């Protein structure tokens, strides 16, 4: 009897392990993306690559002073991509901020009005792909700071819903 129970438990363990591996493999395909750290150009370069290929871009960031990222936003706008930006009201008026330049170019931009600071750091590309993490879209973040960014092919709808909420909350 004990032998049969042992065999049954081993068989059940094998089945559970098989299902777990299948789930993890399927889940890993959905989560594909990348994780990058600064200082270094990886976050900046991957954000620029996503901007360059997207047709719809929603950006919620604390600050934008990184010229390479801003230039890719300008280029995307010129090629007809739909772009919206939410940023912090205090940081957008900073000496090195490119927020006013982006807004002047015709890119819809809203500054927070309801929260003490707008400290999000995420973007949604084509409603599906996201970048998030501690990485500020600034030159200092790329060159000097210890920060991170993660790119995921999931959670696009959840981040899009949050962006819409903030966009409406900070509406003109």
Q: Which residues are catalytic?
A: 119, 121, 126
Dihedral class, residue 134 (left if φ above 0, else alpha if ψ from -120 to 50, else beta): alpha
Per DSSP, 39 falls in state S
With the C-alpha atoms ordered 151, 49, 169, 96, is the resulting torsion angle positive or negative? positive
Contact (CB, 8 A) for 33 and 98: no
Distance CA 168, CA 172 (A): 9
Q: Residue 149: enclosing H or E segment and its boundaries? A: strand 148-152
């Amino acid at each position: 009897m004990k032998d049969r129970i042992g065999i049954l438990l081993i068989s059940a363990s094998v089945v559970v392990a098989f299902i777990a591996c299948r789930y993890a493999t399927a889940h890993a395909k959905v989560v594909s993306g990348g994780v990058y750290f600064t200082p270094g150009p990886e976050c900046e370069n991957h954000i620029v690559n996503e901007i360059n290929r997207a047709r719809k871009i929603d950006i919620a960031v604390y600050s934008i002073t990184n010229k390479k990222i801003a230039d890719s936003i300008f280029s995307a706008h010129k090629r007809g991509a739909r772009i919206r930006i939410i940023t912090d009201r205090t940081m957008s008026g900073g000496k090195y901020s490119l927020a006013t330049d982006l807004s002047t170019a015709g890119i819809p931009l809203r500054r927070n009005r309801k929260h003490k600071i707008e400290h999000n750091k995420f973007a949604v590309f084509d409603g599906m792909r996201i970048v998030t993490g501690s990485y500020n879209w600034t030159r200092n973040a790329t060159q000097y700071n210890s920060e991170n960014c993660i790119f995921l092919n999931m959670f696009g709808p959840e981040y899009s819903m949050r962006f819409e909420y903030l966009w409406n909350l900070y509406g003109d």
